[in-house]
Amino acid sequence: MKKLFNILIMCYALLFFVCGCYDDKGNYNYMSENELMPVGISAIDSISVKTQSALNITPKLTNDDTSRYTYLWYTLDKSNPYTRDTLSTQHDLSINCNLSVGNYTLYYQVKDPRKNIYKSVNTPLTVTATDINAGWYVLKAKDGFTDVDYFSLSGAMKANLLTDVVKTEKLQGTPVSMIYIPSNYNHAVTNPDGTTTILYNQSAYHIVANKDMVTLNANDLTVFKRLNDEFYETPSNINLQGIQQDSYNTQYLINDGHLHFQYGGQGIGKFNYQLAGGQKVYPTLICGSYDVYSYDQNSHCIYDTKFGDGFTLCSDENGSTTCFSDSAFVMLNFLPRVDEIYSVKCYGVLKNGLNDKYYIADFGISGQSYMPTPTFSEIPATSGLVSSTVMAAPRGASVIYYATDNKLMMYKVAFSTDEVLKAFDIGEQVSFIKNMRGTNLDETTFNDLVVITNSSGGYKVYRFPLVGSAGEINATSSAVMTGTGAANFIMFRQN
């Protein structure tokens, strides 16, 4: 009994000790992060700079105090993160960039030496051997071959990159598409002694014509690969139709209806064998943040083709697959519309083979291959949309832009009506339409409808700012880029 009594006394004492210590903050003074380090640093946009040229950055700080803080600019090499180079200990960065060509992470650190604490921000830094980097890349057909014209953010032009700058063989065929891979592209180099060196984490361009393609080193414009080196096994029939990439830098190449892919950061930058399954893939993929969707022209079904893991049928809320073969629908155009974090939206322009009528299908696709039943609306037979081959949807508004002769049109899906947005000069034919966003040289952002027209005198590129949320544009803009040849694609590369 006495032993039990002693145990109870000890338990009560322990409980008293714990309760007495609970919420005891001792002799410490608790301060918030902002009290300790009141300075704030705004994010710095990604940067591309030519080696041996000026690199000037003025950071945006709040509650700055140069008498109190010290400053540090340094880089880490992405291919060797243990290599650190100090660039400056000044408030602003103003140096001649002597870093080797490659990809880096640039850090800016503000430190309070009295408290030995700091805040920092970082941003990707690409050092190139060429001043051809951020800007606009126009794919064009000229003299039976494909070439590229480049326009910098300031508007300076360098024509015929492949033939006059890179000085590589011309691309056979007509222009298809082009993508920029900012990092994680690998390439194998055969050394004079027969050994192989793998170049990791490179930046690259894929430039695609319907009969040919080339991959360039984006840092110095040397050739990484020509067509015969692009595949582990080159297809016997070359009919290149499209190339896209997802947010993981996985690249998807469509050749003659077959889908090939390569993972970013893996392998040696070659495209794998075509995905099995017998699908005839529509040339446009719908790329979301986590999933990539394709339309099979044989089965008239929509598939999730994420990471090249094969074809997984999408299904609706009832578990039914998203196919249109029972309704005799044929996809004429597959248009990306909205790219959200976990879902995408797109339009399908369809023809019903049973009644020869045309429809718009409004799709919403979520992760895990889930696609709610699409809504359909009939397109009036009088609309030019049914015969147009050049069209695009903006990010958000329920409209479809399309071309008919020299006119830029807008079809309002909810009202089934057409509107003329812009009539170009007689002889100009619209060849490309896309809603594009980015940042200008003066750091203002843009949200434009970019349109290319061709005529006997060459091509013109227009940028029409979107106005409001209903798809309307400011159509007063004149051509901002012009060149020789017939263009049908443009890519914008940010820094």
pLDDT for res 59: 92
What are the tens digits of pLDDT across the range 350-361? Answer: 999 888 999 999
Question: Which 3-state string (H, E, C) describes the chain?
Answer: CHHHHHHHHHHHHHHHHHHHHCCCCCCCCCCCHHHHCCCEECCCCCEEEECCCEEEECCCEECCCCCCCEEEEEEEECCEEEEEEEEECCCCEEEECCCCCEEEEEEEEEEECCCCEEEEEEEEEEEECCCCCCEEEEEEEECCEEEEEEEECCCCEECCHHHHHHCCCCEECCEEEEEEEEEEEEEEEECCCCCEEEEEEEEEEEEEECCEEEEEECCCCCEEEEHHHCECCCCCCCCEEEEEECCCCCEEEEECCEEEEECCCCCCCCECCCCCCCCCECCCCEECCCCEEEEECCCCEEEECHHHCCCEECECCCCCECECHHHCEEEEEEEEEEECCCEEEEEEEEEECCCCEEEEEEEEEECCCECCCCEEEEECCCCHHHHCCCEECCCCCCEEEEEECCEEEEEECCCCEEEEEEECCCCCEEEEEEEEEEECCCCCEEEEEEEEEEECCEEEEEEEEEECCCCEECCCCCCCEEECCEEEEEEEECC
Distances (CA, A) of 243 to 195, 213, 254: 31, 10, 6
pLDDT for res 367: 66
* Cα–Cα distance for residue pair 334/336, rounded to 1 Å: 7
Of the listed ranges 55-69, 152-166, 254-268, 285-299, the least confidently predicted one is 285-299
Highest averaged pLDDT of the listed ranges 218-222, 304-308, 327-331, 339-343: 218-222
* Cα–Cα distance for residue pair 153/377, rounded to 1 Å: 41
What are the tens digits of pLDDT across the range 230-287? Answer: 999 999 999 999 999 988 888 999 999 999 999 887 889 999 988 878 899 999 998 8
Looking at the chain, the domain(s) classified CATH 2.60.40.10 span: 37-128
Task: Please state which CATH number belongs to domain 135-388+489-493.
Answer: 2.130.10
Looking at the chain, the domain(s) classified CATH 2.130.10 span: 135-388+489-493
* Cα–Cα distance for residue pair 180/385, rounded to 1 Å: 31
Residues with Cβ within 8 Å of 2's Cβ and at least 6 positions away in sequence, in order, are: none
User: What torsion do the CA atoms of 168, 258, 283, 316 make, to the nearest 10 degrees?
Assistant: -150
Which single residue is written with the structure tokens 């890179």? 166
Looking at residues 86-108, what average pLDDT do you find?
93
What are the tens digits of pLDDT across the range 136-148? Answer: 999 999 989 999 9
DSSP-assigned beta bridge partners for residue 451: 433, 462
Please, what is the average pLDDT of the chain? 88
- Report the share of the chain in percent with pLDDT over 70: 90
Q: Which residue has the higher pLDDT, 252 or 396?
A: 252
Q: Which of 122, 101, 106 is nearest to 199 (CA)?
A: 101
pLDDT for res 21: 47
pLDDT for res 1: 46
CATH of 37-128, one of 3.20.20.140, 2.60.40.10, 3.90.1010.10, 3.60.21.10: 2.60.40.10
pLDDT for res 443: 85
Q: Which residue has the higher pLDDT, 442 or 205?
A: 205
Take residue 285 and report the two structure tokens written for it: 């993929």
pLDDT for res 390: 97
Per-residue confidence band for 155, with pLDDT thresholds at 50, 70 and 90: very high
For the cut 50, the answer to whether the pLDDT of residue 20 exceeds it is no
pLDDT for res 329: 84
Distances (CA, A) of 250 to 232, 280, 373: 16, 20, 29
Amino acid identity, position 57 = I
pLDDT for res 52: 85
Q: Which of 200, 194, 217, 338 is nearest to 264 (CA)?
A: 200
Q: Are 279 and 257 in contact (CB under 8 A)?
A: yes
Looking at residues 177-195, what average pLDDT do you find?
93
- Report the share of the chain in percent with pLDDT over 90: 59
What pTM was estimated for this model as a whole? 0.82
Per-residue confidence band for 116, with pLDDT thresholds at 50, 70 and 90: very high
Take residue 50 and report the two structure tokens written for it: 């030519």
What are the tens digits of pLDDT across the range 468-485? Answer: 999 999 999 888 999 999
Per-residue confidence band for 19, with pLDDT thresholds at 50, 70 and 90: very low
